[in-house]
Structure 1
Amino acid sequence: MYEAKDYSKLVGMKGFSEILLKNHFTLYNGYVTNCNKLLEALMKMFEEDEVGTPEFAELKRRLGWEWNGMRLHELYFENLGGNGIFPQEGILSKLINEQFGSFENWKKEFIGIGLMRGIGWVILYQDIYTGKLINFWINEHDIGHPAGGNPLLVMDVFEHAYIIDYGLKKKDYIKTFFDNINWNEVEKRIIK
């Protein structure tokens, strides 16, 4: 079974109130709890030879939502807590500059995706087959992830990630998100 990770070290992070972070941690804990409940129920159904039933199918479908809700929040929280200064050296810098022309070009596209209307995630993926980088909009946790995509930078743009502190000013939240990126963590996720 999965255990919720402790991200309380993020409390006090510039631009994120304690109440917003604690609410977000509670939401994340719910994904972990529900993921575990579904895995237990599915295992019981498997043991009782109920695989193939409509009930099994619906639980299996729901697992994608809870699993990705858990995992995406972990990636999101783990790529926060830094100083936001993009490193000029390293593999990530090299890849972004080669493929987007500059960090500013890449950032402009990433922010533009984040400002799109709707709820979801903005994720910088690395194609595990080619090593190329691509920014994606992911609407729902369990829909739209690119096959063979390795998530490098994950930004939550569901309202719960910012509305307590920023209201409908998503642009201000995105600026604060960038000010707090832990680029060392993002760099570690690259498949070389």
Structure 2
Amino acid sequence: MGLWRNERFGRRLSVALPLLALCCDFTLYSAPASGTVSEYEVKAAFIYNLVKFVEWPAGALSGGSFNLCVAEPDPFGEALPAFLRQKQVFGHSVEVVRLKTSENYRSCHALFISMREARSVSGSLRDLQRAPVLTIGESADFGETGGMMSLLLVNGKIQLHINTQAVRAANLRISAQLLRLANHAQDGGRK
């Protein structure tokens, strides 16, 4: 019985350690002189680390850079570009692309949609259903409108919700480790 518990603990630890990088990258980010870190600085670190646990279909990442797009209005300001400066995803430099219209969403590898913008782009999310674009939002109903991941601020902590049906439809694969650590992972974004 003791050995079984140790093995189970070891498995949990092996799942948790890679995601510890989420916290490490966040804490290594230089905070402002006030010592406080904004919600969007934290979300920048989460997004950077989340994409490392996603597998895109063959050929989807061919090209010079990994395009991390943000639908305008951009809530990050300079937090996202500052955090991603000189970082790479799967051997590609990361380019932050701010988009004013949905016509260029398919040029993205990952797309962040703010809570303010989520309702106005729900039709665009449906258009992206089969495209290999990881959609990340921050509203509670983001998964229900076809979004893949939502970073929710709950009691001062970021919760990760994953819509596995939307991820599969886009032919993306999310690491089992990340699925186990998500606060909610369900088909169609519903509990």
Q: Taking structure 1 as the reference length, what is the TM-score of the superposition?
A: 0.28
Instruction: Choose between structure 1 and 2 for higher RCO, CA contacts under 8 A separated by at least 6 residues.
Output: 1
Asked which structure has the greater CA Rg, the reply is 1
TM-score, length-scaled by structure 2? 0.28
Q: Counting strand residues as a fraction of each chain, which structure ranks higher?
A: 2
